Structure 1
Amino acid sequence: MNFDLENLSSFAGWERLAETGMAFGTNLVAALAIFFVGRWIAARLVILMKAALTRAKVDRTLVSFLGNVANVGLLILIIIAALGKLGIPTTSVTALIGGAGLAVALSLKDQLSNFAAGALIILFRPFKVGDYIKVNGFEGFVSEIKMVQTALSTPDNEEVILPNSVVMSNCIVNRSSMPLCRVQVVVGVDYACDLKAAKAAVLKAATEHPLCVQTQGKEAVTYITNLADSAIEITLWAWTNEADLGAFRFGLNEQVVENLRAANINIPFPQRDVHIIQQQ
C-alpha cells in the first residue's frame, strides 16, 4: 500500500513538472515570437520614419541619428514585453534599465549636450556647410557639421573643431546669410585740404571699383565721422557680394590712397605742436 502511494506521489510530481515545462515552453515560444515579430515591425517603422524625414528634406545626419534612437527605444520596449511574457517582473527590469540609462547619461552628459546641440543645428540651420561664420572668438568657413562637433576652415588654412554645445551656447554671426556685405574704410585727411574734393576722391575709389555693388538702399556713401587731433576722418561705406568681400576690402584701401595722392590731398601723420617758453 505504501509502495502505491509513493508511486502516485511521484507521478503527480512529474505531472506538475510536465505542466510547468509545457507552460514555460509555451511562454518561451510566445516571448521569442514577440521578440522577432516585434523586431520586424520595429525595423519597418524605422524605415518608414526615415523615408518620411527624407521626404521632408531633413538633414541626412539627423535622419540617421533619429533612426538609431527610435531603433534602440523600440528594442527596449520589445525586450521588456518578451521578458514579461516569460513571467519576469517588468517593473524591476524597467527600473534597472532606467538606472543604467541614468548612469550612462550622467557619465556622458557633455557628449549628450553636444548631440542635442547638433540636432538643433541640423534642424534649425543657423548655418550650413560653406557659410562663413564667427562664433566663440573663431571665424572661418564651415567645412563639416557632425552630431557632436562643427569644423571651421580659417582664412589661415587652419581647421578649428568646435563642440556643438559651445556653438549653440554662443552668439553666431553668419556672414553668408546675406548676399551683400558692407565694407567700411576710415581715412584721415589734412585739416587744410579741400574737404569736398577729399570726399569725392574717397567715394570714387568705391564707385569705380569693379566689385562694388550699388542697389537702392545700398549705395556707396561717405561721411565726416571724426575731427581727430591730426586729421579729419572720412568714413566710406560700400557694398559688395559676400564672396568678393576680401578682395574688395583690400583693393578699396589701396585705391583710396591712390585717389587722395592723385588729388594732392595729404594723409597726415599724428603730430603735436610743442611750444618752448624761455624764461628771462
Structure 2
Amino acid sequence: MTGLSPATLTTWATRLTAALVVALVGWLIARWLGRLSARALRRGHADPILAGFLRNVTFTAALILVAIDALEVIGIPSTSLLAAVGAAGLAIGLALNSSLSHIAWSVILVIFRPFRVGDTVTINGIDGTVESVNLMHTHLRTTDNREVVIPNGSVGGNPIYNASLSGTHPFDWRFAVPFGADLEHITSQIQAVLRERTDLPKDAQPSVDVVGFSNNGVVLSVHGASAPDTSPHLQNEVLTAVHRALHEAGIATVAMT
C-alpha cells in the first residue's frame, strides 16, 4: 500500500494554509476596495445607485482575482485556470443568456439613470419607491411597505414612469354602480369628496367619467394625479369617503373593477 510521504503532506498543508490566508486577506481587501470606491463616489455627490453598483462590481472583480491567486498558491497555474474559467464562462454564458441580459441592463440603468434612489416610479404596473439597483435586480418599496424585486431586464425592457421627475403621480380608480342610478348625482357626490381633499391639486381636480359597463353595473373611473409625497393611503381614504357619501345618499357602490 502506497501513500503520501510526510514531506508531501507537509508541503500540501503549507500550501492550503497559505491559500486560505490569501483568500481571507484578499476577501477583506476586496470588501475594503468596494467600500472605498462607493465612499469616494458618495463624497463626490454621485447617485447612490451608481455608488452601490460600483461597490458590487469592484468587490466581485477583486474577489475573482483573489480566487485565482489562492489557487495559484496551491499549485494550479493561472494560465490553465484562466483557460478553464474562460471555457466555463462561455458555457455558463450560453446557459444563462437571460441572466446576462439582466446584468447588461443594470449597466444601462446605472449609466442613463432613468431613476434615482428615493424616486417614486411605476415599473411593470408596480408602484413603489426605488431602494437599490444591483447587478441583477431593482428593489422597490411599495406604499404598503412590501419589497418588490424586479429583474433588471424587465425594468429596462418596459416603460418606466418616474413620478419624481414629472412632479405628479397618476391614479385611476374604478368601481361599478347599479344600472339606472343617477350618474350626474353620483358624479357630483364624488367631486364633492375630492374637493375636500387638501392633498390634491386645486387647479387640476380629478375627473369622474363613465368608462364602460360590467355585469355589476356602470363602471366609473376616478382619475387624476397627485404629488409624489401624497399620503400612501390616498386611494383607501378617498374611496372610503366616496362609499360613505354615496351610502348616505342612498346609492350603493357594487364592486371595485
Question: TM-score under structure 1 normalisation?
Answer: 0.51
**Shift in Å at residue 257 of structure 1?**
1.9
What is the match of residue 208 of structure 1?
A: 196
**Shift in Å at residue 122 of structure 1?**
0.8
**Shift in Å at residue 188 of structure 1?**
1.3
The 8 Å contact of residues 181 and 251 in structure 2, kept in 1 or not, is answered as: no
**Would you say 1:242 and 2:189 are equivalent positions?**
no
Q: State how many pairs are aligned.
A: 197
1:113-133 C-alpha deviation (Å, 9 max, x unpaired): 444322211111122222344
What is the match of residue 128 of structure 1?
A: 116
Secondary structure (helix, strand or coil) at the match of 1:260 reads helix
Matches within 5 A, 1:93-242: 102-103=86-87, 105-109=89-93, 110=96, 112-135=100-123, 140-155=128-143, 157-185=145-173, 186-189=175-178, 191=180, 193=182, 195-215=183-203, 218-226=204-212, 231-242=217-228
Question: TM-score under structure 2 normalisation?
Answer: 0.55
What is the match of residue 91 of structure 1?
A: none
Amino acid at match of 1:129: V
The worse-fitting range, judged by mean Cα deviation, of 179-188 and 132-141 is: 132-141
- Gaps of at least 5 residues in structure 2 are 1-39, 63-78
| Identical-residue share of aligned pairs (%) | 20
CA RMSD in angstroms comes to: 4.4
**Shift in Å at residue 234 of structure 1?**
3.6
Distance 1:255 1:192 in 2: 19
The structure having more radius of gyration, on CA atoms, is 1
Distance 1:229 1:68 in 2: 57
The 8 Å contact of residues 181 and 245 in structure 1, kept in 2 or not, is answered as: no
Amino acid at match of 1:191: G
The worse-fitting range, judged by mean Cα deviation, of 160-169 and 113-122 is: 160-169
Aligned to 1:267, which of 246, 252, 256? 252
The 8 Å contact of residues 190 and 267 in structure 1, kept in 2 or not, is answered as: no
Distance 2:217 2:152 in 1: 46
**Shift in Å at residue 199 of structure 1?**
1.8
Secondary structure (helix, strand or coil) at the match of 1:237 reads strand
Q: 1:173 to 1:101 in 2, by over 3 A?
A: farther
**Shift in Å at residue 261 of structure 1?**
3.2
Distance 1:113 1:125 in 2: 17
